[in-house]
Amino acid sequence: MSEPSVPTQRSALVKAADADLHPTTPKLEPLDDLSSKAGSATSDVMRAPKKEKLVTIKVDIPKSVRKALSIEAEKRGLSVKQLINAILRDRTRG
């Protein structure tokens, strides 16, 4: 019987040099963009998007994650709550 082969070691993952141009976070849609829900008729564009009822969720996260969210929200001109809402919305859209 032959010995099983051992895979060769590879270097650890590193941040790409152009990571600022190709971020891994999802692209966010503007929250107040009326055209995102518009159909083919002009009257569709004039209507405000349907308001969804907001619910409160309490989640314990590491301080480092909260800090990273705060930095990213500041970069995008959003509050941390708006950023988290947008990320979760994009994730659930599939």
SS3 69: helix
Indicate the range of 8-12, 26-30, 52-56 predicted with least confidence.
26-30
For residue 3, pLDDT over 80 is answered with no
How far apart CA 54 and CA 57 sit, in angstroms, is 10
First to last CA, the chain: 47
Sorted by where each begins, the domain ranges of the chain are 34-92
Indicate the range of 7-11, 40-44, 66-70 predicted with least confidence.
40-44
How far apart CA 71 and CA 66 sit, in angstroms, is 9
Burial class (CB in 10 A: 0-12, 13-18, 19+), 69: middle
**Which pLDDT band holds residue 24 (cuts at 50, 70, 90)?**
low
**Which pLDDT band holds residue 9 (cuts at 50, 70, 90)?**
confident
Mean pLDDT across 67-81 = 93
Higher pLDDT, 90 or 49: 90
Higher pLDDT, 60 or 29: 60
C-beta separation of 72 from 81 below 8 A:
no
Indicate the range of 10-14, 65-69, 88-92 predicted with least confidence.
10-14
